[in-house]
Amino acid sequence: MAASAQAEQTAGGRAGPARSISVVICAHTEQRWDDTLAAVASVQAQSRPALETILVVDHNPALQARLAAALPDVTVTANREAQGLSGGKNTGIALARGDIVAFLDDDAVADPQWLASLADSYADPAVAGVGGLTLPRWAAKRPAWFPEEFDWVVGCTYRGMPTSRAAVRNLHGGNASFRREVFAAVGGFRTGIGRAAGKRPLGCEETEFCIRLSQRLPGSVMLFDDRAVISHFVPEARCRFSYFRARCYAEGLSKAMVTANVGAADGLSSERSYTTRTLPMGVLRGLADLLRGRPAGLGRALAIAAGLAATTAGYAAGLLQRRAWQAAADGEQVAAGAAAGTAR
């Protein structure tokens, strides 16, 4: 076998170093028009050019037509699946031709080295997915009470995550990439999890996908690479405590959906250390700042406690909903079986 061919194969059959990258951006509203154009422009300015940029518009024909006219060099397409982020990503995956499929939020801007850094981390054939560092770009000043441990609330890398390149359980969807071949092996993102048409700010579609990938393809590595940097816009509406609390509650609901699909052992493995180590340390830092004469420390400590309480409440509510749905489904099966028996 030639050396070049050997470089493209591994003992497990997975492709070797990936070459081309397709970038998928999902858009849904005209309110992010300027942000979406900036996201696309940041991809076009990459030091390592993308093979293609695929812009998926979520059931908004007027926006789709406007973007197609403004971006002739971009593949602009309608979401061909159920409304929501999962359907949009799956539509992009189906169209992608690259060895790697990378995802960028429509309100984020990628550093010029973003794709080069993602691609570099695929040198190890065991790596199935790579995500990067997402920094908040606040519309206003960061709220003094907003703890860094909860930066995931605004879609960003948070305190408690690795600070350098390291293996992680799951990637974060706004700055993530996967070998295209893994989608054929494990399927796409599940609908019913993550952002959709409703007002509740759900998430975790990428968490469920990464865990499912690891379960079905043992030995696969998800890698966090802090060199792959994007900045994520945080509007003033997401700087309010009301949004913070609602997003935490929705995260709990989403986690309940994830554990229903992949099991609690894997679905909550990272959350255990986060709640028992990262958050208590955050509270202590906040209280220490208060003792040093910085009153904002108390606000951060209280926000951590409130965020944990809201997330826990959401998770409990999600479990109760799942059990109610399961009980109703079981009741329907029993009734159907009884009706069939009577008919006989």
Domains of the chain, CATH where assigned = 7-271 (3.90.550.10)
- Is residue 236 within 8 Å of 301, Cβ to Cβ? no
Inform me whether the pLDDT recorded for 335 exceeds 90: no
Tell me the residue ranges of DSSP E strands in 79-200.
100-105, 108-110, 127-138, 166-168, 175-179
Q: Report the percent of the chain where pLDDT is more than 70.
A: 86
Confidence bin at 327 (pLDDT 50/70/90)? low
For residues 171 and 153, give the distance between their C-alpha atoms in angstroms, rounded to a whole number.
15
- Averaged pLDDT, 24-37: 97
Q: Would you call 34 exposed, middle or buried from its count of C-beta atoms within 10 A (0-12, 13-18, 19+)?
A: exposed
User: In the numeric block, which tokens belong to residue 73?
Assistant: 């060099």
Inform me whether the pLDDT recorded for 7 exceeds 50: no
This prediction's pTM: 0.87
Cα(first)–Cα(last) distance of the chain, in Å?
Answer: 65
